[in-house]
Structure 1
Amino acid sequence: MNKTLFIILIVIAVALIAYNVTLLNFQNLLEGDSIIALIGIVASLCAIVLLLIFITSKKIKDKMNQD
């Protein structure tokens, strides 16, 4: 997988976070569509963290193979 794909996936995850923030009802965060939006935000954050971990592990692997 190349770097461009990772950047596109991270941008999509950030866009999903932005969209889900617009769905939040700050008066009742744990009711109705707000709970679904919160789940979407957490899932997108998890996806970003996993992608960043994968990118870091690829860099480490490349450095190990280089030496």
Structure 2
Amino acid sequence: MKIFTNILVFLAVALILFNVTLLDFRNPFQGESAVAFIGIAASFCAVMILLIFRISKRIEEKTNEK
């Protein structure tokens, strides 16, 4: 499960980097920049959810050891 979440985190970070290249910093909320900004936000949310999932699995493992 850890390898799977690592792969997903890597893909989400790659999407963030890709969408940063699409941003037009002069007009960040116009045209393709708006789509790129939404993609960055969504990828960031995905990374946070995956990190929370990983932490919850770690907590679950520790509580099952007792």
- Superposition TM-score tier, normalisation by shorter sequence: over 0.9
How far 1:26 moved relative to its partner? 0.3
Query: Does residue 1:8 correspond to 2:7, yes or no?
Result: yes
Shift of 1:55: 0.4
How many residues align? The count is 66
1:23 paired residue number: 22
RMSD after superposition: 0.4
Residue type of the partner of 2:17? A
Any idea what SS the aligned residue of 2:24 has?
coil
What is the distance in 1 between the residues matched to 2:14 and 2:56?
A: 25
Q: TM-score, normalised by structure 2?
A: 0.98
Structure 1: runs of 5 or more not aligned: none
Deviation at 1:64, TM superposition (A): 0.4
After superposition, give the CA deviation of every residue in 1:3-53 in whole Å (9 maximum; x if it has no partner): 110100000000000000000000000100000000000000000000000
**Corresponding residue of 1:56:** 55
TM-score normalised according to structure 1 size = 0.97
Counterpart CA distance in 1 for 2:7 and 2:58 is 18
Give the distance between the partners of 1:39 and 1:30, measured in 2 at CA: 10
Structure 2: 5+ residue stretches without partners: none
Moved over 2 A (4+): none
